[in-house]
Amino acid sequence: MIDSKELFAKISGSSSDNEYFLPLPKGYQKGKTRYVIVMGTVMSGLGKGIFSSCLAKLLQDKGLKVAPIKLEGYLNIDSGTLNPFRHGEVFVLDDGMETDMDLGTYERMLDQNLSKLNFATSGQIYSSVLYKERHGDYLGRDVQMIPHVTGEVKLRLRELAMKTQADVVFVEIGGTVGDLENAFYIEAMRELAYEEGPHSCCYVALTYILEPSTLGEQKSKAAQLGIKQLLQLGVQPDIIACRCEHSVAEQARQKISVFGNVPFERVMSLHDSASVYSIPSMLRDSGIDFEVLRLLKIEDRIQLRHERKEWARWCDFMDKISKETRAVTIGITGKYTSVRDSYASILNALEHAGIHLGCKVNVKWIDTTDVIDANAGEYLKDVDGIIVPGGFGVRGMEGKIACVRYARENNLPYLGLCLGFQAAVIEFARNVCGLTEANSTEVEAECSEPVISVLPEQKKIEGLGGNMRLGGRDVEIKKDTLAWQLFGKETTVRLRFRHRYEVDPQYIKPLEDKGMTFSGKAPNQPIMQILELPNHAFFMGTQAHPELTSRPLRPQPMFVGFVAAAIKAAYKDESLKGPVAAAELVSKF
């Protein structure tokens, strides 16, 4: 029988007389990094990202270094051109990679800034393989799905392991086992365990237990068939997590155990929870974290003292959720409101801020398509603050501007994000500065007062997706402004961006002369990035997407200030802490 070290030596080469093929990162050590592979059966949308990130958090709390990666089956190079109605929000990483919204789940739960290393699509994989083929990297071999495409997938995982020095890499495969586009990913995972050796990989199957109301009992047949399909692909799951509305009955779990060839104690119920933040506790109570450690033989790497400290911090956070004594209603005025996932990060940022302020944040969804100045009050009469979120295109823009005007004139707390920043500039220019024809060149290409136009640095770049200002950028904060106070009196902060239009520099002074304060700008450039109105309860806008960097234990300062202002507006109590006092709270995180 061939020795594992000899095997690795053989397959690390690429020659025409050798059927073994495996490109390896320089210095890669087999067995140093372990892999947890999470796959779904029955249907998508079960929460693989939530499960995977929560399990990764438990291992991280134990002192292990974890690194997630999401493998998507679609042929797009990234998620930037995907319609929010079809795929939810586009989550932008600090390095500018536009990704699936699950990367936001990982960033929030693990409190990590991820990069392009943590995200791969079929389009990326195929493009890389074809590039190498054109450049002769395969030494004359015919390029095939196996071993070259699957080899590229494994190379991505191992490069991530090397560059992050992770103890455990968490691999989430999008979609379900039955999706044709996922077949090569699953085959790559089978090969990975073969090449890395015993105890190198832990396979987790997330499945769904049907609970038809007409029958009054749980049905596991669909889950059984999904697990069987996984077995047919050569993958034996080590753990099966059963999603269901209610706790999965022992009888159903026993059936899954028998048909899936998985010990009963590793078939767990992952039923619906009131809060996503209680899922780590659910997994911890089930003991699944230690099952993973035993399967991967890395019990000796954990640090129990570190775990006690981190778990205490998390429990303190969870305690705050149960102590919410007030409630506010925030209106989200957008055009993708029928798909809540379009604004997932905004919802999370509001929740984080509310928890730390002891307040339940309820959301009222307002589609701006039919909103005008005359009826804006009807739409907004029962909210304590409004957010105008980002978006692209003409539809709903005038409705957003009408909402901004109502908030400004009625002292209603306002937070504008990206397009919401631009809408605030247009509204102020029209109704305060007297520039009645003010608009954005995105909405009206030939407008006579283009207060919002294409960024100067982007005007020479052509091609959709090629002229975006993407990723993390430093922002200079003006002293003695609300932004300066909220950011802990820091003069430079880092925010994430995704836009191609900006305030035209020639209109900056006219806007400032009428009372608008630009409290944040790009270093050494006339690019305005944060605005505020000083004599308002709370009126801020930012060209950035601050919601992308909010974390459960570190809520985003602008959201904390906004929710604090909404509480003050809702309870009409001058003794309540408002945005400025909230800045003191932010500094403690």
The catalytic residue positions are: 418, 545, 547
What is the widest separation between alpha-carbon atoms in the chain? 84
What residues contact 580, with CB distance under 8 A and at least 6 apart?
482, 485
Whether 283 contacts 271, CB under 8 Å: no
Strands (DSSP E) contained in 316-358 are 326-334
For residue 499, give the nearest of 455, 444, 438 by alpha carbon: 455
CA separation for the pair 256, 209 (Å, rounded): 10
CA separation for the pair 76, 80 (Å, rounded): 9
- For every residue of 237-266, DSSP letters joined together read -SEEEEEESSPPPHHHHHHHHHHHT--GGG
DSSP at 478 = P
The secondary element (H helix, E strand) that includes residue 451 is strand 449-454
**Phi/psi of residue 66, nearest 5 degrees:** -120, 150
Return the structure tokens found at 13. Answer: 């080469």
Q: How far is CA 127 from CA 76, 130, 133, in A?
A: 10, 5, 10
Q: How far is CA 228 from CA 181, 202, 222, in A?
A: 19, 17, 10
Whether 420 contacts 492, CB under 8 Å: no
Place of tokens 């929740």: 351
CA separation for the pair 231, 184 (Å, rounded): 15
End-to-end CA distance of the chain: 57
CA separation for the pair 237, 233 (Å, rounded): 11
Return the structure tokens found at 92. Answer: 């932008």
CA quadruple 541, 542, 547, 551: dihedral sign:
negative
CA separation for the pair 106, 100 (Å, rounded): 11
What residues contact 445, with CB distance under 8 A and at least 6 apart?
none
Supply the Cα-derived Rg of the chain in whole angstroms: 26
